[in-house]
Amino acid sequence: MFEQQRSPSFDLVLTNARLVSMVPGDCGYEMSEPTNIAIRQGIIAEIGDNVETTKSESYDCQGQLVTPGFIDCHTHLVYAGNRANEFEMRLKGVPYQEIAKQGGGILSTVRATREASEEALIELALPRLDGLLRSGVTSVEVKSGYGLTLRDEVKMLRAAKALQDHRKVRVTTTLLAAHALPPEFAGKPDDYINFVCQEIIPLVAEEQLATSVDVFCESIGFDLAQTERVFIAAKEHGLRVKGHTEQLSNLGGSALTAQYEGLSADHIEYLDQAGVEALAQSGTVATLLPGAFYFLKETKRPPIELLRKLKVPIAIATDLNPGTSPFADLTMMMNMGCTLFGLTPEEALRGVTCHAAKALGYGQSRGQIQVGFDADFAIWDVSHPADFSYQQGVSRLSSRIVQGELDHV
Ligand code: NIG
Ligand code: FE
């Protein structure tokens, strides 16, 4: 009894792990020599060669590379319906904005999502989630935004949270009721924003259905004043904010997001110098979504050089959604971040680990291999961390560990 109390006991010890720790400022992208990680109650308890390995359950990583579990910090993976027809229209030259104006686009997914039950939404989302898990994801953000009524937004958020009952994964939910103007409010966007601020945000906060609130700040979404009203309501109810900003034009939404201490400004192809400076000042993460850029055949690239120069943390996410980024693969986005936007593979890896964690408000607990951080890892059969951004389509994931629990692929 006494002996047991004195001896270190861990829930799990990973041995022979080559760590890519992603600790900022450190040489986090470098691989360590094979070493050990001890896990207790879902948290990293000890790291190093001296970890006592004989008295606990252990898992031999056989010299494989261990990264923090990847974090997809921007998805819309809960939805019903299919927009392949719009893909065909766009290939024939009809612009995304035009399809949206004709009642297609986001609103076509809204119609299908409203008709689906919570259970149906979960069933439809699982294969998409599985794609992400195969690319090493252990945390995923999921937005609402295809319901646009109180009932349907709540249904989407509940479905997103319920994914955790079906898979080993951590889900963070974001309310995106201000995604598009629902047909019931046609011509009355300010009335809809009132409804979002007075009805939806208070209930979602009260029932803890989301931790942050997002707005599509764009000519085909909501303007700056409307966005600000949503941000004020979110803050009043103790929720963080983030934005779909500067995707198709420069409205100043990123600077507004920064002004409200936003977690992240996402897309940002049209971000200007003032916008980058605002992000730098507030510590807001710039989240790049190269899948949407690629799928919409955009040409304006985000201001990477300036973001680097002003040391704005850069995240990368899938934006997994039926209209602009139907891609359930985060390492493919890392590849696109490098080839389309000019990131280095090291920046791409930061973009799905430490910086993605910060974009979700978990900068001090996830996305790095450090004592005290959450025990979420991906174990990989690759020889160098650059490989994540390099080769695609070959399964290289050996296992994932979520909250200290192993999940074999
Ligand atoms: O992030 N930009 C707005 N929202 C999504 C697209 C949603 C859709 O087209 O269904 C995005 O690209
Ligand atoms: Fe999005």
Q: Which residue's CA is the closest to the ligand 1 atom numbered 9?
A: 323
Helices (H), 181-289: 189-195, 201-206, 224-236, 253-259, 273-282
Q: Which residues belong to CATH 3.20.20.140 in the chain?
A: 70-359
Superfamily of domain covering 70-359? Metal-dependent hydrolases (3.20.20.140)
355 is in an annotated binding site: no
Retrieve residue 184's tokens.
């019931």
- State the pLDDT at residue 3: 43
Give the Cα separation of 10 and 97 in Å (integer).
54
Q: Which CATH code is given to the segment(s) 2-69+367-408?
A: 2.30.40.10
Give the Cα separation of 201 and 239 in Å (integer).
9
> Which ligand has its closest atom nearest to the C-alpha of 222?
1
**CB contact at 8 A, 213 and 222:** no
179 is in an annotated binding site: yes
**CB contact at 8 A, 388 and 135:** no
Please tell me whether the overall predicted TM-score, pTM, comes out greater than 0.85 for this model.
yes
Retrieve residue 30's tokens.
């470098």
Give the Cα separation of 7 and 223 in Å (integer).
60
User: Coil, strand, or helix at residue 173?
Assistant: strand
Q: Name the β-bridge partners of 264.
A: 242, 285
Nearest-atom number in ligand 1 for the CA of 106 is 10
Block residue for tokens 């919570």: 118
**CB contact at 8 A, 360 and 143:** no
- Angstrom distances, CA of residue 83 to CA of 107, 159, 175, 321, 340: 11, 21, 22, 10, 24
Ranges under pLDDT 70 in the chain: 1-8, 26-27
Task: Specify the DSSP element, H or E, that contains 269.
Answer: none
Q: Which residue's CA is the closest to the ligand 1 atom numbered 1?
A: 319
Q: Is 216 in the pocket of ligand 1 (CB under 6 A)?
A: yes
> Which ligand has its closest atom nearest to the C-alpha of 107?
1
Give the Cα separation of 112 and 128 in Å (integer).
17
270 is in an annotated binding site: no
Q: Is 286 in the pocket of ligand 1 (CB under 6 A)?
A: no
Retrieve residue 40's tokens.
């207790």
Give the Cα separation of 320 and 78 in Å (integer).
9
Q: Name the β-bridge partners of 170.
A: 139
**CB contact at 8 A, 280 and 312:** yes
Angle between helices 150-166 and 118-134 (to 10 degrees): 50
Please state whether 297 falls in left (phi above 0), alpha (psi between -120 and 50) or beta: left
- Give tens-digit pLDDT for 217-226: 999 999 999 9
Q: Which residues belong to CATH 2.30.40.10 in the chain?
A: 2-69+367-408
